[in-house]
Amino acid sequence: MKHPDNLKYTASHEWIRAEPDGTLSVGITDHAQDALGDLVFIELPELGRKLAAEEACAVVESVKAASDVYAPVAGEVVAVNGAVVDTPGDLNKDPYASWLFRIKPAAGSAPAGLLDAAAYEKGLS
């Protein structure tokens, strides 16, 4: 699967999309879901939770492994996608169609070290 050009990526295999309201949607990449295999459980952060940059805040679990999902920036969780909790396998079908949570960056906080699609793909090879 091609990694969409309109997203940013982390070395820990999260994707980030800037929303018009200033929040950031966070999900896992195709590479992450492929490496994990069939997803069976997802644990999302609680609404209102304050996160530090790069803090583990969610878990995606497959039949063979569990993996943490990290916050790309310090801020507050303002939305969670309950649909992925109910049907975690949807992330295997199209990981870019389903975000996990949205974070409102803390004042003066900006994501650091994000990669564009080309740089992310280069790091995979």
Span 33-53, average pLDDT = 96
pLDDT-based confidence at residue 13 (cuts at 50, 70, 90): very high
- Which pLDDT does position 111 carry in this prediction? 80
pTM of the model: 0.94
Residues 33/91, Cβ–Cβ less than 8 Å: yes
Q: Which amino acid is at 119?
A: A
Got the DSSP string for 6-38?
TSEE-TTSEEEEE-TTS-EEEEE-HHHHHHH-S
pLDDT-based confidence at residue 3 (cuts at 50, 70, 90): confident
- 68 has a pLDDT exceeding 70: yes
- Which pLDDT does position 64 carry in this prediction? 87
- Which pLDDT does position 69 carry in this prediction? 97
Q: 63 to each of 13, 72, 85, 93, how far by Cα in Å?
A: 19, 26, 15, 16
Domains of the chain: 8-124 (2.40.50.100)
The whole-angstrom separation of Cα 37 and Cα 56 is: 20
- Which pLDDT does position 1 carry in this prediction? 62
- 88 has a pLDDT exceeding 80: yes
- 61 has a pLDDT exceeding 70: yes
Span 58-79, average pLDDT = 95
